[in-house]
Amino acid sequence: MSAIAGVFERCRAEKRAAFIPFLTAGDPDLSRTADLMQAMVAGGADIIELGVPFSDPIADGPTIQRATTRALESGTTMSGILRLVARHRDRLGVPIVLFSYFNPIHARGVESFAEQAAASGVDGVLCVDLPPDEGGEYIPEMRRQGLDTVFLLAPTSDRERIKKVEHQSTGFVYYVSRTGITGAQQELPKELLKESKRLRRRLRQPLAVGFGISTPEQVASVAGVADGVVVGSALVSLIGEHGGSKDLPKLLEDRCRELTEPLRR
């Protein structure tokens, strides 16, 4: 069983959803990313989604776009990120899923990326602009290295696509809560709870839900219908506001603890 599958199994036994926070690697710079991940773990992270910054993030809203810009301006590279994971993965003690666009992986060569990512201790990869349909080279290389391949489902995915994504996903399936880009939302879409309930019954993998979840109340309502809850932009904007501050890890830990409070009840 992969470490990611192990987390979901443990959470199921504890009758709670997993908390999956996201941060952009290298925001504000790579030397601080390890401390921020550590703070997320202290605040209750079960799995960490580590974003690989890409110059043209078409699926991201302004908050993560700005984080991406900060990370690239601080000189963050894929090699740097993999070295960071190699140094800290064991100490963190929670699985790391790289959240990337495909081109930085493609540029490195899919085969050597998979080798290096696995050697660094990365547990799984989610490629936001690589649907399973284009995974002809990627999926077998990731499998060979024992890396989980997380794919997305969206409100527009029809029956055929759900089948395809289920077939190629390992670790978990990531359901995008709404048609749109990343970013905190006042309210979650009305259909979301019904949709994820339906999907969760149907999929054999655990279902994590993300995009727009930013408050403890939203975490609580999604946790009732999913196996995992992803919070991204809400944490990234905290990092953006307090990037220069020594107190950032503490603030981040506290925010994660607030968000996971409903999961511990």
What span, in angstroms and rounded, lies between the C-alpha atoms of 181 and 262?
26
Q: Is 31 in the site for another protein (CB under 8 A)?
A: no
CB closer to another protein, 38 vs 177: 177
Q: Which residue type, as a one-letter code, is found at position 129?
A: D
Within 55-114, which residues bind another protein (CB under 8 A)?
55-61, 65, 72, 77-79, 102-108
CA distance 170 to 126: 10
Half-sphere exposure of 29 (CA within 13 A, CB side): 6
Q: How far is the CB of 72 from another protein (least distance, A)?
A: 7
Omega within 30 of 0 (cis) for the link into 28: yes
Buried b (16+ CB within 10 A) or exposed e, 96-135: bbbbbbbebbeebebeebbbbbbebbbbbbbbbebebeeb
The yes-or-no answer on residue 247 being catalytic is no
Single out the residue of 158, 186, 201, 204 in contact with another protein (rule: CB under 8 A). 158
Q: What residues between 178 and 237 interact with another protein by CB under 8 A?
A: 179-181
Question: Considering the complex, what minimum distance in angstroms separates the CB of residue 54 from another protein?
Answer: 7
Query: If binding is defined by CB under 8 A, does position 54 make contact with another protein?
Result: yes
Q: Which residues are catalytic?
A: 49, 60
Q: Which residues bind another protein (CB under 8 A)?
A: 54-61, 65, 72, 77-79, 102-108, 128-131, 133-134, 151-158, 161, 165, 176, 179-181
